[in-house]
Every structure is written in C-alpha cells, then in structure tokens.
Structure 1
C-alpha cells in the first residue's frame, strides 16, 4: 500500500438541504461547488497528484454556511461568492496558503 495520497488536496462542499431549516444548499453552495470544480479544471489542478473537488452531505457546521473543508489540511472555510472561491483555489488549492479571512471559527457548529 502506498503511503502517499492520491490527491494533494481534497475539498468537500456541504450541499445539504433541510426543509424549513438553515442548510448550506440554501446559501448557493451548489453554485460555489460548480464554480470551484470549473476553476480547478481551468487551472489544471484536477487529477492524480492535484486537487479533487467533491460534494458532501451535512458537515455539521450549518451556522457558518455555506462551508467547505480542505484536506489533508483540515481547514474549514465559509464563503460568500465566486471571488471567495477563486481566492481559495488560487491561494490554498494551488499554492498551499490558508486564506485566513475565510477560515471558519472553531466555535461554529450546527
């Protein structure tokens, strides 16, 4: 078994939906996911040794939604629009630099 990861980084977007309750999908998380996937491909970061963009169910951080988490770094982000996603792609996914202004506070839960 290989000791190296297939992907350098893996970003998961919460796309959970709850009827009548706060959830990431109600805050344009699907559009953010789609934009991130397109940007990662455009930057030629996708694939083995690069970046994987995935959908996730509830990540239990609803109060900070919409949210995404980057592994193996375990950095949680809250974002507002495509410019935030662009910054995460450029700085964190491409260059390994955490985008501090978008980091979700550890106290934020459901």
Structure 2
C-alpha cells in the first residue's frame, strides 16, 4: 500500500463550553499550535502529497492528557505545551522519523 502522505498529523481543536467538566484543547492554544506546525512543515519543505499533512480535528477524546496530536500511520500520540515542543515533534519525528519520547502519550 502506498499512502498518500508519509505522515498525517491531526491536532485536536475541540472547544468545550464554560460549563464543561472536562478540559479542552482549544483552551491550550491548539489552533495557534496547529497553524504553527503547518507553517514549520512548509518552511522545511515537508508539506504535500508523499510527505506531511497537518490537519485540524475535532475531539480526539484524550482531554485529560493535555492538548493532543496524533501522527499516522503509526498512531503516535503526543501532548505539547508550546512552539518549542511542536518544533521538536516536527524536526525529530516528521523530518527524521524519531519519536519524541518525552512528549509521547502512552509511552
């Protein structure tokens, strides 16, 4: 099987209402981080068919583990705090194929 993308990355951008009892990724700058990742992938020449696609997603149901992204085809789950974490995921995993263990969920 020849996948259309080497890596397909989904950022949870779910927004919950103020009455929600569970946290949500949107309150952790998820939209900003998704846009930043998309920009970095383009800057590094990784964007497009055969390479990397950065996508928005609804709830990925990992709310209590912080803002989340999942990288396919491996199904590697990450959490992050800021742009430096996104840089590390992009440069280590998407550019060099090495999982960032310190940010990985379900290690």
TM-score normalised by the chain length of structure 2: 0.94
1:17 & 1:105 partners in 2: Cα distance?
23
**SS class of match (1:94):** helix
- Structure 2: tracts of 5 or more residues without a match: none
1:104 & 1:83 partners in 2: Cα distance?
17
Quote the residue 1:8 is aligned against.
Answer: 6
1:37 & 1:48 partners in 2: Cα distance?
14
Quote the residue 1:17 is aligned against.
Answer: 15
Correspondence 1:65-80 to 2 at 5 A: 65-80=66-81
Moved over 6 A (4+): none
**SS class of match (1:70):** strand
2:106 & 2:7 partners in 1: Cα distance?
21
**SS class of match (1:92):** helix
- Structure 1: tracts of 5 or more residues without a match: none
TM-score normalised by the chain length of structure 1: 0.92
Quote the residue 2:31 is aligned against.
Answer: 30
1:64 & 1:44 partners in 2: Cα distance?
30
Q: CA RMSD in A?
A: 0.9
**SS class of match (1:31):** helix
**Count of aligned pairs:** 104
